[in-house]
């Protein structure tokens, strides 16, 4: 009976996390990532999502990326996403979504177009938490960072794919 209850609670917790509308502060996942892409969905169904990579912010450039959507992850054709690889942990490297921390190989964040600016959507920033302040607040639940802000955040972190810069000679 206890095993049944424990299994039910674990299943319930996975469903709750996977159905989240958007990930938390996406920049928190950069420390685990060697690859960050801006990509547009060119095909999507329940079995696979194919992205056309439009910009490489970190890592090796690519043209397309076909992934298995995690339960609860939906991406409509022609929508734009920031895709952050999750290179550490026990994840399924060919899965995109938010099942649970460290499981999916790719963590997505939707990109919102507002005039000429593009914002990477994330959950609402909470004042006084030490979190990076967003560039725009859309609602009580969501805010966003510009692509330029994302690039600045990436520059602050080590990138294992970059070649080492030789020391300056004095």
What CATH number does residue 75 fall under?
Answer: 2.40.50
Place of tokens 């952050």: 84
**Residue 9 in domain:** no
Taking 90 as the threshold, does the pLDDT of residue 99 lie above it? no
Please check whether residue 5 lies inside any domain of the structure.
no
Query: Number of helices (H) and strands (E), helices first, in the chain?
Result: 2, 9
- Cβ contact 36:155 at 8 Å: no
Alpha carbon 44 to chain centroid, angstroms: 17
Q: How far apart are CA 83 and CA 96, in angstroms?
A: 8
Q: Per the domain annotation, does 162 fall within a domain?
A: no
- Three-class SS state of 40: strand
* Of the candidate ranges 37-41, 59-63, 138-142, the one whose mean pLDDT is the lowest: 138-142
Tell me how far the alpha carbon of residue 127 is from its chain's centroid.
22
Encoded tokens for 169: 């000679």
Containing domain of residue 64, as a range?
A: 20-155
161 lies in some domain:
no
pLDDT digits (tens, 9 = 90+) for 6-38: 343 344 344 333 333 345 566 667 777 889 999
Assign 84 to helix, strand or coil: strand
Q: Considering the domain boundaries, does residue 59 fall inside one?
A: yes
Does residue 36 lie within any of the structural domains?
Answer: yes
Question: Does residue 13 form part of some domain?
Answer: no
Give the count of domains, the chain.
1
How far, in Å, CA of 16 to CA of 24, rounded?
14
- 114-130: pLDDT as tens digits: 888 899 887 655 544 55
Cα 142 to Cα 124: distance, rounded to the nearest angstrom: 4
Cβ atoms of 66 and 44 within 8 Å: the answer is no
Domain assignment present for residue 14? The answer is: no
pLDDT attached to residue 64: 96
CA angle at residue 67 from 20 to 108, to 5 degrees? 35
- Mark residue 77 as left, alpha or beta (left: phi above 0; alpha: psi -120 to 50; beta: remaining): beta
- Report the alpha-carbon distance of residue 85 to residue 159 in Å, rounded: 12
């Amino acid at each position: 009976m206890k095993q049944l209850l424990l299994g039910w609670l674990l299943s319930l917790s996975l469903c709750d996390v996977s159905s989240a509308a958007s990930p938390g502060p996406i920049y928190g996942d950069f420390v685990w990532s060697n690859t960050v892409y801006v990509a547009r969905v060119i095909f999507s169904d329940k079995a696979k999502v194919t992205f056309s990579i439009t910009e490489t912010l970190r890592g090796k450039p690519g043209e397309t990326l076909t992934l298995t959507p995690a339960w609860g992850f939906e991406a409509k054709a022609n929508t734009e996403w920031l895709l952050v690889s999750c290179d550490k942990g026990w994840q399924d490297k060919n899965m995109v979504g938010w099942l649970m921390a460290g499981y999916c190989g790719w963590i997505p964040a939707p990109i919102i177009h507002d005039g000429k600016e593009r914002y990477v959507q994330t959950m609402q920033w909470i004042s006084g938490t030490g979190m990076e302040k967003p560039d725009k607040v859309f609602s009580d639940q969501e805010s966003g960072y510009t692509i330029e802000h994302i690039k600045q955040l990436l520059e602050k972190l080590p990138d294992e794919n970059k070649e080492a810069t030789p020391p300056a000679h004095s």
